[in-house]
Structure 1
Amino acid sequence: MIERFYLKEYLSFKNVEIAPKSGLVVFTGPSGSGKSILMKSILSSLGADTCEASLCESSVTWDINNDEYSIENEDINTFKYIKKEKARYFINNQSISKKAILKLTSNYLRHLSLKDFSDFENENLISILDNRIQKNSHDIFSLKEEYKNTFFEYKKIKADLETLEKEEKKIEELKEFASYEITKIQEINPQISEDEELLKIKKELSKKEKILEKISLANSIFENEHFVSGALDALEVDSSFFDDSMNELRAMFESAEARFTALEDVNIEDVLNRIQEIAGLKKRYGSVEEAIKYKEQKIIELQKYENIEITKDKLIKEEKKLNKKVKELAVTLSKLRTKEIDAFSKDLNCYLKELYLRDAQVVLKDMEPTEYGKDEVSILLNNTQLQKISTGEFNRLRLGILVLKSKFMNADGGILMLDEIDANLSGEESMSVAKVLKQLSKHFQIFVVSHQPQLTSMGEQHFLIYKDKEESKVKELDFKQRVDEIARIISGEDISKEAISFAKELLEKNR
């Protein structure tokens, strides 16, 4: 729920701060006072709308999934909408995209102003129906879980089989291609790091003659080595440092000569051809490692192609088995739902009668199996498709569905925002909507803008929106102030004694 809302600088509003309570929260006020503007700003703070306010801020009790949104969850999480050059959203002072904030708030917030058909989607209606069945001591949840797991297993096997059958049509071509690719790489038979070693050999061979010639010339130093040793002895200088250096130099030259002797049998043309072959593999596959990996992958594919008939037979048997089980479980689910659908329809129409709506027709029909079964729940209002009924009828029908759903919800179902849902309704119709909202307020925090005394009198909390010298302000009303405001709604600015009496009677009756 929203525990606090703050608005700064939006049209006729300067600074507004309210502390909404749980349950049914009513906003009233004269026309043009800013009721819809305030609702729009609350929605904007939660990413569900945009406005030109400097700041819209809501403090809410919703949990935030830290892993999904990378935002630290707190006991009270603060949502902010700031509009300067562009709109920006924050949660606990951490910036968040509009897409992410909408995804988060959609789990908690419903705005019943537009024709949102999500409440009439098959998944939602099936869920309500199944919750009713579960409540009547039929363990449909375990059955649904078994069906769902079987259905997804069946879909996977079916997809594997379809892929295999597509491959089977061109199996010979695939086998030929795989064999060709394997042979091509195997003929070259590259070794990891071989290209680096070949380049090193190429480099040494290209310098072999020059290096050997220079070593040969340098070897003359050893012919005069004894003269240096003699001179050092005459000077009574320890010659070990010179002997060590000469031995190290001799070893270096001998090692180089031995390495070049080992390369005498190496054919430079063979080395160059090998480098070119490996370069061709690297150009096609990226590296020697990738070429070897690709070859091993093609070997596995070739084995699969050669064993395709065995694999296909297994998949066909498994697919038939799972298909049969899916159908059996779907039929079992459907029987339970068919048995419950009349009671579902009866209860829905009881609420619709309270809401002064015509009967709805609830139909359960077969469709292609999904993860929820083979049943589709469709609703018509007096045999009229939902797309063709009025917005007022549509929203009252949604309320009926929400009441059915709320029986299986916890206390905090989120927030419902309704802007003038009782507009153009008679007093009886308005009272019926009020009673349904009162029932829903056990599960939702409901913000509603109303112009009718019946709904206004039902509120657990009542805010008046009014203008003071062209500035819009909001204040929470006490009992006496509520009486005066409801009387104004009834009789206009010239409040009569009868209006005050009726307003007081309404409030006391609904306290």
Structure 2
Amino acid sequence: MLTNLSIKNYALIDNLNVPFYDGFTCITGETGAGKSILLGGLSLVLGKRADLSSLRDKNKKCIIEAEFQIGKYKLRPFFEKNDLDYDDLTIVRREIQPSGKSRAFINDSPVTLDVLTKLGDSLIDVHSQHQTMRLTDSAFQLKVIDALADNGVLLEEYGARLAKFKQVVKELDALVDFQKNAIKEHDYNSFLLQELEAAPLKPGILEELEEQYEQLNNVENILELLANGYQLLNDEQVGVVNLLAELKQVSNKLSAYGTQYVELNGRIQSLFIEADDISGEFQRQQEGTEADPRALEEINAKLQQLYDLQKKHGVQEIPELLEIKADLAQKVEAVANIDSDIQAKEKEVAKERSELSNLAKKLSERRQKVVPQLKKQLEDSLKTLGMASASFKIGLSPADDFKSNGTDELTFLFSANKGGSYGELKKVASGGELSRIMLTIKSILAKYENLPTMMFDEIDTGVSGEISNRMGEIMQAMSKTMQVFSITHLPQVASKGDHHYKVYKVEEASVTHTKMKKLDAEERVVELAEMLGGKDISDSAIAHARQLLN
């Protein structure tokens, strides 16, 4: 419930700080005194868009702060979801800078306007003439029926299943679209894949082939160099091997004269062995090397194939071609399997549709059961509000598609007069009738839902006498289980309040200010007397005011 409201620098308000209490609170004041300003300030802290024109002093910021006792609203999950500190006593603040920038806070944590609005919807239900038109909306009407049917849990389950159904339908549509587009590209992708599969693609293959090509293409030069090398090693006069053989004989003899020569002899022995081995390798390479025009042609063809693929796909390295090959293989396989994938997804859609239909059917059955109950409660309540002949025709029929709240099409028809024709509320009900119907519906909802604080803004406009008295009693009854506010011009309604506040204007130094105060018992008598008879208060008006309060 709303426990305190503070408004600074807003419209005609300099600084207003008002505590509120549970039960039924009435707010009165002359036309133009600023009741709408109070409501406007409250709307800002609940998330309404800010307007620079609302600043009283354009050089100062506007601050509106509201305190709420939210222990019974089960809002802890909302705070956790939005990473906010939870406290049973929650403070919501809105600031509007002279620059026009607006900031919002929940328990001193900055929040977006969207988060503020969502929280505000859970804290206060502000009923205005604009909101009365919601009564003509079928979604709102169905919400009333769902409240009576206790469909909350079932609606949550339906909503989750509807989201799943929409997701699998979206996935099926994506597969079908993919099939349409993929078929066009399938042949080309298959051709590209075949080209890559025919190529000898593996890491390092390009370097390997280029090396083989160089050897085969220069075989004569290689043979000539190998022959020269062998000759240098084995020439009878100056061959390295022969010279090392002679050197080896010298070092053998020298090693007999001391250990220092033994090590030197070992090194020379190693040189001779290595030179002799190299000589043999030169000979083996010569014997194994020969011209092979056919192999050269094959390797050249493979290289050209790889070069062409690199150019075609705009890459420089073989690993990049391998990635393209894998991607193409995946696309080709996807098209090859698309028919079976679509069939599987169609089965999943059918299963989800069946589950959703079952939930929608349960919703509809529960709604059908409470429709007569709602009709009776509405008609009985409206009789006490001066609409003795008010009658409703409420019907539910199945729709072809799944909506956010089921598959029911609602017919909600109204007739104010006995024997009169039925029609849609927005076409046949007057403003005063709509207000009384809305009040009745709110009072019914209060029995079935844990509604937030309710604020009625002149819902009693256009009624008087006993009817206004009865409207006051309905709001008073609602306040037994929730906090209720009524901004009213009617003394019959104002007298029902547990608390009475007056909004008024004063002039100070030629400047008009809107103020608000809580009336004590005697001040309430005077205020009600003025509402009954005007500024010139008579004894009879005072007596009538006391009678209303008693």
* SS of structure 1 residue aligned to 2:423: coil
Instruction: Report the Cα offset of residue 455 of structure 1.
Output: 1.1
Specify the alignment match of 2:373 in structure 1: 343
Instruction: Report the Cα offset of residue 17 of structure 1.
Output: 0.7
Question: Do structure 1's residue 86 and structure 2's residue 100 form an aligned pair?
Answer: yes
* SS of structure 2 residue aligned to 1:434: helix
Instruction: Report the Cα offset of residue 394 of structure 1.
Output: 2.8
Larger Rg: 2
Deviates more, 1:45-54 or 1:23-32: 45-54
* SS of structure 1 residue aligned to 2:400: strand
1:176 to 176, 187, 206: 187
1:386 to 396, 401, 425: 425
- When normalised by structure 1's length, the TM-score is 0.70
Instruction: Report the Cα offset of residue 150 of structure 1.
Output: 6.2
* SS of structure 1 residue aligned to 2:448: coil
User: CA-to-partner distance for each residue in 1:215-264, whole Å, 9 max, x for gaps?
Assistant: xxxxxxxxxxxxxxxxxxxxxxxxxxxxxxxxxxxxxxxxxxxxxxxxxx
Partner amino acid for 2:534?
A: G
2:118 to 86, 90, 103: 103
User: CA-to-partner distance for each residue in 1:117-148, whole Å, 9 max, x for gaps?
Assistant: 556655554444344345xxxxx777767766
Specify the alignment match of 2:33 in structure 1: 33
**Quick one: structure 1 residues 188 and 399, their matched pair in 2 at CA, closer, same or farther if it must change by over 3 Å?**
farther
Q: Percent identity?
A: 24
Aligned length: 429
Deviates more, 1:443-452 or 1:343-352: 443-452
What are structure 2's unaligned runs of at least 5 residues? 57-61, 212-295, 416-421
Specify the alignment match of 2:506 in structure 1: 468
**Quick one: structure 1 residues 146 and 425, their matched pair in 2 at CA, closer, same or farther if it must change by over 3 Å?**
closer
Specify the alignment match of 2:13 in structure 1: 13
* SS of structure 2 residue aligned to 1:407: helix
* SS of structure 1 residue aligned to 2:331: helix
Specify the alignment match of 1:449 in structure 2: 487
* Match runs of 1:101-500 below 5 Å: 101-116=116-131, 118=134, 121-134=137-150, 172-173=183-184, 175-180=186-191, 182-183=193-194, 186=197, 270=303, 274=307, 277=310, 280-281=313-314, 291=324, 294-305=327-338, 308=339, 310-311=340-341, 327=357, 330-331=360-361, 333-357=363-387, 358-370=390-402, 372-382=405-415, 383-388=422-427, 389-410=429-450, 413-469=451-507, 470-500=512-542
Instruction: Report the Cα offset of residue 73 of structure 1.
Output: 3.0
Determine the C-alpha separation between the residues in 2 that align with 1:275 and 1:15.
Answer: 81
Specify the alignment match of 1:72 in structure 2: 85
**Quick one: structure 1 residues 163 and 435, their matched pair in 2 at CA, closer, same or farther if it must change by over 3 Å?**
same
Instruction: Report the Cα offset of residue 391 of structure 1.
Output: 3.7
User: CA-to-partner distance for each residue in 1:7-52, whole Å, 9 max, x for gaps?
Assistant: 2233432221101112322111223322221221121222225432
User: CA-to-partner distance for each residue in 1:147-173, whole Å, 9 max, x for gaps?
Assistant: 666666665555555555566667753
Determine the C-alpha separation between the residues in 2 that align with 1:34 and 1:141.
Answer: 39
Determine the C-alpha separation between the residues in 1 that align with 2:128 and 2:203.
Answer: 67
Instruction: Report the Cα offset of residue 332 of structure 1.
Output: 5.0
Instruction: Report the Cα offset of residue 385 of structure 1.
Output: 2.5
Determine the C-alpha separation between the residues in 2 that align with 1:112 and 1:492.
Answer: 28
Partner amino acid for 1:56?
A: I
* SS of structure 2 residue aligned to 1:472: strand
* SS of structure 2 residue aligned to 1:71: coil
Determine the C-alpha separation between the residues in 2 that align with 1:272 and 1:329.
Answer: 62
* SS of structure 1 residue aligned to 2:17: strand
Determine the C-alpha separation between the residues in 2 that align with 1:300 and 1:355.
Answer: 72
Instruction: Report the Cα offset of residue 485 of structure 1.
Output: 0.9
**Quick one: structure 1 residues 80 and 191, their matched pair in 2 at CA, closer, same or farther if it must change by over 3 Å?**
farther
CA-based RMSD of the aligned residues comes to 4.0
- When normalised by structure 2's length, the TM-score is 0.66
Instruction: Report the Cα offset of residue 451 of structure 1.
Output: 0.9
**Quick one: structure 1 residues 424 and 373, their matched pair in 2 at CA, closer, same or farther if it must change by over 3 Å?**
closer
Determine the C-alpha separation between the residues in 1 that align with 2:12 and 2:347.
Answer: 72
Instruction: Report the Cα offset of residue 452 of structure 1.
Output: 0.5
2:66 to 37, 40, 58: 58
Deviates more, 1:379-388 or 1:420-429: 379-388
Determine the C-alpha separation between the residues in 2 that align with 1:485 and 1:275.
Answer: 97
* SS of structure 2 residue aligned to 1:48: coil
User: CA-to-partner distance for each residue in 1:406-448, whole Å, 9 max, x for gaps?
Assistant: 22223xx223333222223112222232122223334443332
Determine the C-alpha separation between the residues in 2 that align with 1:302 and 1:158.
Answer: 19
Determine the C-alpha separation between the residues in 1 that align with 2:371 and 2:408.
Answer: 11
Determine the C-alpha separation between the residues in 2 that align with 1:499 and 1:177.
Answer: 95
Specify the alignment match of 1:213 in structure 2: none
Partner amino acid for 2:394?
A: V
**Could you tell me whether the CA contact under 8 Å between 1:355 and 1:396 is conserved in 2?**
yes
**Could you tell me whether the CA contact under 8 Å between 1:188 and 1:278 is conserved in 2?**
no
Deviates more, 1:317-326 or 1:124-133: 317-326
Determine the C-alpha separation between the residues in 2 that align with 1:157 and 1:59.
Answer: 44
Determine the C-alpha separation between the residues in 1 that align with 2:384 and 2:204.
Answer: 82
**Could you tell me whether the CA contact under 8 Å between 2:104 and 2:113 is conserved in 1?**
no
Partner amino acid for 1:367?
A: A
Partner amino acid for 2:32?
A: G
Determine the C-alpha separation between the residues in 1 that align with 2:439 and 2:203.
Answer: 70
What are structure 1's unaligned runs of at least 5 residues? 135-139, 202-264
Partner amino acid for 1:494?
A: D
**Quick one: structure 1 residues 143 and 33, their matched pair in 2 at CA, closer, same or farther if it must change by over 3 Å?**
closer
**Quick one: structure 1 residues 335 and 448, their matched pair in 2 at CA, closer, same or farther if it must change by over 3 Å?**
closer
Determine the C-alpha separation between the residues in 2 that align with 1:414 and 1:141.
Answer: 16
Instruction: Report the Cα offset of residue 104 of structure 1.
Output: 3.0
* SS of structure 1 residue aligned to 2:55: coil
Instruction: Report the Cα offset of residue 106 of structure 1.
Output: 2.5
**Could you tell me whether the CA contact under 8 Å between 2:456 and 2:486 is conserved in 1?**
yes
**Could you tell me whether the CA contact under 8 Å between 2:310 and 2:321 is conserved in 1?**
no
Instruction: Report the Cα offset of residue 319 of structure 1.
Output: 5.4
Determine the C-alpha separation between the residues in 1 that align with 2:363 and 2:84.
Answer: 40
